[in-house]
A and B are shown apart, each in its own frame.
Chain A
Amino acid sequence: MQATPRLTDARILVVDDERVNVVLLERILDQDGYRNVKSVTDPSEAVALFDQFEPDLVLLDLHMPKLDGFAVMKLLEDRISRDTFLPILILTADIRPEIKRRALAAGAKDFVTKPFDRTEVLLRIQNLLETRFLHLRVRHDPVPEGQAT
């Protein structure tokens, strides 16, 4: 049976065109013990970094020039297999329900509204990563039939 990795070992990719947001998230994550964080401010570089870094979680801004968050999710769609839980956490200042619905339909798993609260961001990241690792564990060590509780 494979040991469950620590949450802080998770690889986190940050995609946000605002440098200030990237620095803030990097520092928040670093303070909380996350060491494997990579980020891009140019969304067109996101896919290449995704392929190379193979993140466990993507923190994605929605409103970006040239390539917005929806377009990035569309590009990532083919790279994330259907039976994999690879969460995308949207960071946006747009609180309209229709935007949330559209993002959820495009593959986002959760939202944080800007300006965000540090504790809230960390809790959402933690929850998504826990779910991600549980999925990975089930995939690697499926529970035999009849033993599920």
Chain B
Amino acid sequence: MWRRYGDALYTLLTLAVFGFETIALGVLSLSFLLGKASGIASTPVEAILLSVVISSASALALLGLYLLSYHFISAMRDRHQAGQVDAWTEWWVALALASPDEPVEGRNRLPRVAVDSVLSLLEAVKGEEGDRLKEALAGHGVDRQFLKRVNTGHLTARLDAIEGLGKARLPQALDALLTLFAHAKPVVRRMAARAAAGTLAVMAPEPGPNGPHARFIRAIRHADLQPGVVQEALLLLETRAGPILRELLADPELPHTLRWVALETSGRLGLADMADQVAASSTHPDPELRAATFRALRRLGAVPEEAEAQLLRAVEDEVDFVRVQAAHAAAFLAAETAIPALEPRLGDPSWWVRRAAAGSMARLGEVGVAAVRRAAENHPEQAAREMAVQILLEADELTPAAARLATGVA
């Protein structure tokens, strides 16, 4: 793939020059090998050498000239391109910020630079201004061009079109993008998932089984997408993610991988009002999902009352990584509930559980810090005392000198 103007010609020229030099030098070498050059200073050899030197010099001069011209023309072209981009940007910005009563002017055919420019602008602005730009794009038939290229043509052109649709966030392109979730090539599925999610993020929710959100959920459920791709798509839904995540988590038949992704995304987006839906997975038989549930609750900073008992049980879960996440989430319980559950975990065989337990206790206010301090001084196990001291040091609740005294480490 040629990335810059003139690259193909440059390569051909370089090939020709070096090929020519190789042939000339090859002939010379062969002449020597065949003994024709017994008299190195003989006229034919001199003639050959001279022609090789002249041809090499001419070739290098040509190459140098080409390189200079190449860079000069490229720089000119870049400047011209930048000027065009600026001009189009100004035009699109003026159009976007014009009074809503002003008609959206049409231009017959938009050059590539104009389309790129408006797509960049659509990544920066939404609302009425974004709608005006989308209206203009549709008026010029850009959406139809993209939709046509999405379904036909070379892979590169197809990916370009998907990316364009993702930037433009055109509601009329959603179904075409959802169809691509079933495409044979993973890269197409991935790009389509990103573009569809970005588009859905700016669409008004429509309830019902045929609304865009329901169609997106069906496509996600039936597509062969990597968990990371699904998570990225769900994150791109931004403020529209809540209803979709709620519906996914409420589905008892949801595959484990998708449930894990939905839990992770709920936590990452900090959708605190989803704590109840998230907590519902706290009793799941799969430890990965139990851990994801408590990690999400920790990120949400909220543990619903109904999930408290399960969280306290999970602090003693048989799987250590579930205990870690549960211990972290316990920092969001009331101190009088959390501390009695966390204190025994300071002696947990897992370093990670001990650290999570001590860390959460230290975050539970004065009572919690006092409990960690007690553990630092009196806990029967050395590992627990050391962890308590470490946490107090990190929380600036202990001086290094006091820490040395407590642990007996010089």
Contacts and interface: CB of A to CB of B under 8 A. Distances in A.
Interface of A: 18-21, 23-24, 27-28, 31, 93, 95-97, 113-119
Interface residues of B, number: 27
B124 A97 contact: no
A27 B124 contact: no
A96 B299 CA distance: 11
15 contacts: A20-B117, A21-B124, A23-B86, A24-B124, A95-B238, A97-B268, A97-B270, A97-B299, A115-B122, A115-B124, A115-B130, A116-B124, A117-B126, A118-B128, A119-B127
Interface in B103-131: 117, 120-130
A27 B86 CA distance: 13
A114 B124 contact: yes
A92 to B, nearest CB: 11
A28 B89 contact: no
- The SS class assigned to the B binding surface is helix
Contacts of B94: 27
A24 B93 contact: yes
Contact of A93 (B85, B123, B127): B123
Contacts of A96: 235, 268
Contacts, number: 58
Nearest to B96: A24
Nearest to B300: A97
Contacts of B93: 20, 23-24, 27
Given A19-B89, A31-B97, A24 B121 contact: yes
A119 B126 CA distance: 10
Contacts of A115: 122-126, 130, 202
B267 to A, nearest CB: 9
B90 interface: yes
Contacts of A114: 123-124
Contacts of B202: 115
B170 to A, nearest CB: 13
B90 A23 contact: yes
A19 B86 contact: yes
Which 5 A-B pairs give the minimum distances between C-beta atoms? Answer: A115-B126, A117-B127, A97-B270, A20-B120, A21-B124
Contact of B125 (A19, A97, A116): A116
Contacts of B244: none
Contacts of A24: 93, 96, 121, 124-125
A69 B117 CA distance: 23
Nearest to A26: B93
Interface of B: 85-86, 89-90, 93-94, 96-97, 117, 120-130, 202, 235, 238, 268-270, 299
A118 B124 contact: no
A93 B201 CA distance: 13
Contacts of B90: 23
* Chain B CB within 10 Å, residue with most, of A20, A24, A95, A116: A20
A47 B85 CA distance: 27
A113 B240 CA distance: 14
Contacts of A116: 124-126
Nearest to B130: A115
A100 B235 CA distance: 15
A23 B93 CA distance: 8
A97 B269 contact: yes
A147 B127 CA distance: 45
A62 to B, nearest CB: 14
Given A27-B97, A28-B97, 12 more contacts: A18-B120, A18-B124, A23-B89, A93-B123, A96-B235, A96-B268, A97-B268, A97-B269, A97-B299, A113-B238, A115-B130, A117-B127
Nearest to A93: B123
B118 to A, nearest CB: 9
A133 to B, nearest CB: 26
Nearest to B94: A27
A28 to B, nearest CB: 7
A117 B235 CA distance: 19
B13 to A, nearest CB: 32
Contact of A118 (B97, B122, B270): B97
A36 B89 CA distance: 21
A95 B269 CA distance: 8
Contacts of B85: 19
A119 B125 CA distance: 11
A29 B138 CA distance: 28
Contacts of B120: 18, 20
